Chain A
Amino acid sequence: MKIAVLLRAVPDPVEELELDGEDLDRDFLGYVLNEFDDHALEEALLIKDEDGGTVVVYALGTADEVEQMLHTAIAKGADSGQILGEDLDPIDAHGQAAAFAEAISGEAFDLVLTGVQASDEIDGQVAMLVAAELGLPHVSVVIGTAPSDGAIRVTKEYWAGITADYDVRLPAVLGIQTAREAPRYVAVARIRQAQESGALEEVHIDQPDNGSGITITEMRLPEEGEGAQMIDGDETAAAERVLEILQSAGVR
């Protein structure tokens, strides 16, 4: 099985986010691999561990950290990787999907995996847009796969923990919510070896257009509330106090 995994760098939530009008102030931001994409990679590697095949990882060159992300993926067991473009400006979901689709279209992949969403793309469109670009079947919110003979059985999660299995013919695009197992650890020394392996290729692409036609007019930080009131005392006293507060607020 030949599997493509699409990886995205997202702003590191550890850093304090500051706004610059319509976007995050990206000058001092650090980037990390999108958590859901890490699961997509893990699922791909699990399939490879079980059934053999190759895994190729792709990422758009939107951040300095992308190279490290791809080396890490290669160290974990991906066979090769491509960085698409360099120093690219942030791209919306349509633009990302178009760029990814173009990069992988010539390669005859059986399976294309990516995270169901990203912290900066919560509406989760990239997987389905890639599928649309390539004219392939697509399932999202996938929590497990079981490939078998030219097809794949995927488990999709619905609301309230309901799950359903789908048999999907290949090739197909999957949006991964979680891999069957937690993403594996790879030792730093192995990442260093991957850096020297030459398995990573940089491919020039022009800055993709934002395809959605939607622009952000203003971005705001969450408003700080009034703060919580701590209630002291034992259970009885606390319960009485809660009742008092609710009654004084007009709750009957």
Chain B
Amino acid sequence: MVTVVFAAETAGREVFLGFDTTLTVVFYVLSTVAIGIFVWGFYRRIRKYTRGSSINRLDWGRFVRALGDIGSNRTIAKRHRVVGIAHFFVLWGFIVLLIGTTVIAINDDIIGILLGKPEWEFWHGTFYIVYAFVLDVFGIGFIVGLIVLARIRRSDPLRLDYARVDGVEANRRGYSLDDKVFLGTLLFLGVSGFLLEGFRIAATDFPSFEVVSIGGWVIALLTSPLGESANDAARMATWWIHALAALTFIAYLPYSKGMHVVNDAADLAFMKPTSAAVLPDVKDPASPGYATLDDFTWKDLLDFDACTKCGRCHEVCPATASGSPLSPRDLILDLREYADARSGIKMWYGVGARPTHVVDDEIPGHVIATDTLWSCTTCMACMDACPVGIEHVPTIVQMRRRLVDTGDVEPGLQKAFQALARGGNSFGKSAKQRARWTKTLDFKVKDARKEPVDYLWFVGDHGSFDPRATEVSRTVAMLMRSGGIDFGILYDGERNAGNDVRRAGEEGLFEMLRDFNVEAFDDADYKRMFTTDPHSLNTLRGEYPTDDDVLHYTAILDQLVSDGAITLSALSGKATYHDPCYLGRYQDEYDAPRRLIEAAGLELVEMGRCRENSFCCGAGGGRIWMDDSGLDERPAENRIKEAVALGDDVNYFVVSCPKDMIMYSDAVKTTGNEGNIEVVDIAQLIYQAAEVVPVG
């Protein structure tokens, strides 16, 4: 059918229609120059990455998943659906148009010129018709996608404001300019391509098969009144304009934001989603962490270049939101600028914005300020939001390791480290007092070192020592007992699990605490483990040499309720739930707490930032030990305001982490919301709703 209608045997076109030999040669010379500039820039980038220190990221399963991520633009569409869809069209438009150009190069240049076999050429007939149609459809999608993205950019969302958060003077006009040039050039290429097609169709008297070139056909209908010769002149001019723009674009790519088309695909393929949950080991204990550029891995260096400055990390970061000097984006861009300056690489708009730092060898404390590094709560919101697979958290921890090694430690953190080294807890209490919270229970909690238990309960520091959190620990103990769970604790044999110590960069102390706990586990007789502390959960699961099955207490309570071992009478009212970073983003557990809240009879009202997008309380990564008085607004206060804004009828702010209990009960007071909302642990809620019968 198609062949009859379109007279397919004659379908095709000449690339160099109306060119004499000189013009053709000029084009090939210019192409060679452009490709040469591209290859040189590309080579410089690759050489920069290969200078990075080694890290094994060969994971075929990940590569396959990355193909899905890249092809679907899923990571871009996450929480930004319109951007994701528009980018999808741009990406696929770009790929198809690139393939289209490559097809011509293979047909004309390789088969026609290099091999000298014109009889093998295939870019005509039915193939040409399908080709022309597909390219036009994708070309239209490409242009529409770009226009949508340009519109979003013009609406000037906060995340695209490149102002630094730390007040350091920096000229970032080059970044904004490059954004516009990149987007503008793509749009120009798309539009000029269609114009060229239109002029050509009008100049060649509308070959019937060209109707499949829908975009060009419409333009040709509009321009045909100018006459064939005017259209042909316009065709020639547009041909050169389009070609020169394309060649300039090729040359420009590795010196601009354009490099992201390669870098981001690679970064997504090589990223390791668990790299924050299971931190990299220290390579050389004599010189832990990242001191100079040589210590950064090739993946880190790739991360810096992968950043498109989309600002999503900047938007979700609790440190940024609270007015601290850290913005994950600033951090990555500073490191990029430094690495580029050190590698002698220049973007087309000049060197990075802070070239003065080029003289420093030492990065932590110099290129990246000490306060900036201590500001991170390791909540991992940045990594979750990043569409291109940048791993901010492990990089920050590596730099913290260096600060700790050189003794450059925040005073509150130093106090905590010293207390932890002495008594194994950050409260500066004697280890012997660790199980004192059990004394006011009307039953004795088993000592798992002395008698066998089903579950070893890892209580954690806050659940053992902080008055508000010990209250919750006692409630959990009563619930577990009434649900028939056979459990015990380690008494004075437990130490801080070390999750936050490790994230604060004190690897030696982490190892000390971990080894002590592992020895205590060896002495205890238990089948499985549970913990009331999500931070401990994370490190016990991923960073301990033990292969224990470790549960969060909400999973057990959820089981007890669904099995009917604990029966609940309905509470009334509405509750909102805060996902702890280390339970949600880190350990991917979101549903058991929600089921429990609903089982208690409460209506669950979600905050805007929930589940993977939960907003950190500000306590993680050792922040709970550091001074937060300098912040404009503590993250926990920001969060309580969000919860209160859900409405007067939301009575409960439900938490499932001891640090949350502490941070949010404080924040309710400091924001003057006492009486508006009550911070309760999920165990307290269940206890209220349960008909708990004291056993024994």
Contact = CB atoms under 8 A, between A and B. Distances in A.
Interface of A: 12, 14-16, 30, 32, 76, 182, 184-193
B405 interface: yes
B508 A189 contact: yes
Given A16-B432, A30-B430, 19 more contacts: A12-B430, A14-B422, A14-B428, A14-B429, A15-B432, A184-B407, A185-B407, A185-B418, A187-B404, A187-B405, A187-B407, A188-B421, A188-B509, A189-B508, A189-B511, A190-B508, A191-B508, A193-B285, A193-B286
B452 interface: no
Given A12-B422, A193-B286, A185 B414 contact: yes
Contacts, number: 53
20 contacts: A14-B422, A15-B430, A15-B432, A16-B432, A182-B414, A185-B404, A185-B407, A185-B409, A185-B414, A185-B418, A187-B288, A187-B404, A187-B506, A187-B509, A188-B511, A189-B282, A189-B507, A189-B508, A189-B511, A190-B508
Given A16-B430, A30-B430, A186 B407 contact: yes
Contacts of A182: 411, 414
A203 B389 CA distance: 58
Contacts of B414: 182, 185
B144 interface: no
A179 B69 CA distance: 57
Contacts of B285: 189, 192-193
A188 B172 CA distance: 41
A14 to B, nearest CB: 5
Contacts of A184: 407
A32 B422 contact: yes
Contacts of A32: 422
Contacts of B432: 15-16
A236 B418 CA distance: 45
A42 to B, nearest CB: 11
B405 A190 contact: yes
A185 B506 CA distance: 11
B417 interface: yes
Contact of B508 (A14, A15, A16, A187): A187
Interface in B642-694: none
B423 interface: yes
A121 B674 CA distance: 48
A187 B508 CA distance: 7
A11 B255 CA distance: 64
A2 B422 CA distance: 31
Question: Which 9 pairs of residues, A with B, have the shortest CB-CB distance?
Answer: A188-B508, A189-B508, A185-B409, A188-B509, A185-B414, A184-B407, A14-B430, A185-B407, A15-B430
A104 to B, nearest CB: 27
Given A14-B428, A16-B430, A182-B411, A189 B405 contact: yes
A193 B512 CA distance: 14
Nearest to A68: B421
B423 A14 contact: yes
Nearest to B509: A188
Contacts of A190: 405, 508
A15 B431 CA distance: 9
Contacts of B423: 14
Nearest to B286: A193
B373 to A, nearest CB: 15
Interface string B278-301: 000010011010000000000000
Interface string B369-395: 000000000000000000000000000
Nearest to B513: A188
A188 B407 contact: no
A30 B508 CA distance: 22
Nearest to B405: A187
A185 B409 CA distance: 7
Contacts of A191: 508
Contact of B512 (A15, A16, A76, A188): A188
A12 B423 CA distance: 10
Contacts of A12: 422, 430
Contacts of B506: 187-188
Contact of A189 (B288, B417, B418): B288
Contacts of A186: 407
B597 to A, nearest CB: 36
A182 B417 CA distance: 15
A16 B492 CA distance: 14
B427 to A, nearest CB: 9
Contacts of A15: 430, 432
B482 to A, nearest CB: 33
Contacts of A187: 288, 404-405, 407, 506-509
Nearest to A77: B407
A178 to B, nearest CB: 15
Interface string B494-531: 00000000000011110110000000000000000000
Interface in B262-316: 282, 285-286, 288
B160 to A, nearest CB: 40
Nearest to A28: B432
A132 B453 CA distance: 62
B3 to A, nearest CB: 76
A15 B422 CA distance: 11
Contacts of B430: 12, 14-16, 30
Contacts of A189: 282, 285, 288, 405, 507-508, 511
A187 B282 CA distance: 13
A182 B413 CA distance: 13
Contacts of A188: 421, 506, 508-509, 511-512
A16 B423 CA distance: 13
Interface string B461-499: 000000000000000000000000000000000000000
Contacts of B509: 187-188
Q: Most chain-B CB neighbours within 10 Å: which of A12, A32, A185, A186? A: A185
Contacts of B417: 185
A98 to B, nearest CB: 30
Contacts of B407: 76, 184-187
A60 to B, nearest CB: 20
A140 to B, nearest CB: 26
Nearest to B414: A185
Contacts of B511: 188-189
A187 B404 CA distance: 6
Contacts of A16: 430, 432
A98 B202 CA distance: 109
A188 B510 CA distance: 9
Contacts of A193: 285-286
B432 to A, nearest CB: 7
A33 to B, nearest CB: 10
Interface in B592-614: none
Nearest to A193: B286
A43 to B, nearest CB: 16
A191 B509 CA distance: 10
Interface string B396-424: 00000000110101010010011001110
Contacts of A76: 407
A193 B595 CA distance: 50
Nearest to A183: B414
Interface string B416-453: 01100111000011101000000000000000000000
B508 A192 contact: yes
A190 B417 CA distance: 14
A182 B407 CA distance: 12
A234 B24 CA distance: 93
A16 B431 CA distance: 11
Contacts of A192: 285, 508
Nearest to B413: A185
